[in-house]
Structure 1
């Protein structure tokens, strides 16, 4: 009996050690500058163009160095890698603001770097004029009403263009949690490319290839969703288990937004990646920090019928002095 008791004790000890190691023994991923994806993590099938090169050339090295030094001085708990990863995501946001008429800012962490850039007013104005052709203003969020479909459209567009890293998921907050707006889906299903461009996009020679790609992707996924529904009304998808290319999850979003809008999350949560936003430093969830607006009169805010509200609460770092 004593031998059996000792054996059971040892077995329980081993099991406990395994459990504790699985919880605490895994090394937390570190933010390393060398792990930042090239070309803003643009996905392989996205048409290559001059936008990334133009964006980088519009941001002079000396300007970014000044921004980084100020940011790190005001945020002593942040490392140079923290700044570079946030800047990486901000550049992605700037790309979206170049393509779309309305782009909410959902990340406090990313927005803080934008704030630091704006403080160097002359350099920021020069960057805006070089990349956008006019001033990209930053306005704080003044509405408390959430507009989750604005976040859903952001998630869909983001996932068509960019690899979603673990830092992306943490800094922007969980992706794919809200359904796409029914009206948006109906418009992409029935409207012509020209009409869609007029409503949703900023069209010029630099953007044409990417805009065409995005419209074709949405129309393709709408057709795929209909085809899958005819075969299996519940939907048959594989669970996303890794960061990176998440266009598969965007199809999940389109499917359940189309056929199960009111019960979207009950279905979609079975396939989405694990929630990791609670581990982020600075912000614990996606929050709406403000909107960008250029001098052409198109606000880069949430929604497609006016208004700049979005999912999440207002960001504490966005006071009345955010605009430039």
Structure 2
């Protein structure tokens, strides 16, 4: 097919799939639904299997939702060219990296292999790690060396070098996360100007969110120095560029950082007093930006990735409701997890439906 035909097909496919996104009021409806109703509406049969533990049922539901997301990713990449396909697969490999972290922790803390295996996501072949081979590795360094031969070679090499130098699990996992986002930012540079403007905005808003939250947590929760914090951050191609992060990271408190953010982030963050407040506002801001791109971007690949990001957020909201039901949490606690109410409003006195 020609480029025009490819884009037309992809845009049509995205528009059809976008009808699956949750309407704004669905989250509040979900909170009122009992487990049998949730299971029936979303095909979550594992919810009703009372022969399994609560943890096993929760894990089965999470796995089915992630598999659904990965299945939709596979559908979207079919008409794509190499660079487009590579970008979407790189985004989806976050779940393979979750598996890598699980395997690393298992090796470091000598956990039971069955427990490790039970906590690995089942993923499509185009995304998954060579889990069986990694299980057989003697230690973390051998595991990372094995990964250097595959599609995760850049992340694996950097992680191995950091671990060889520091032997610090936190630094190892931070390196994995850092290079995941840096890879996404690098990949959009290969697209032509027609596609790149939308992709810079899409990846940029995600990196703005990530960089701000990491900066606040590393500086004020983990008490890292400005230089240590800056080293962990991935600059955004949109608002929180390298130069802006370099200035922000040296400010002495959360209030000064939020006041010094560029427009429109400083207005969005107005009156935030805690990192949790910032996280909630940034998630809402990010969702608005992604929805705008899904509706208006001329780039088919940007719209496809925007759809996947929104779909992932919807499915994780559904999973949060399911977990709340399984654990017997009151409704206001679930509403807080879904950013429907502020933490101060969640008294714990509400009742699960």
TM-score by length of 1: 0.32
Which protein, 1 or 2, shows the higher relative CO under an 8 Å CA cutoff with sep ≥ 6? 1
Structure number with the higher strand fraction is 1
Task: Give the greater-gyration-radius structure (CA).
Answer: 1
Structure number with the higher helix fraction is 2
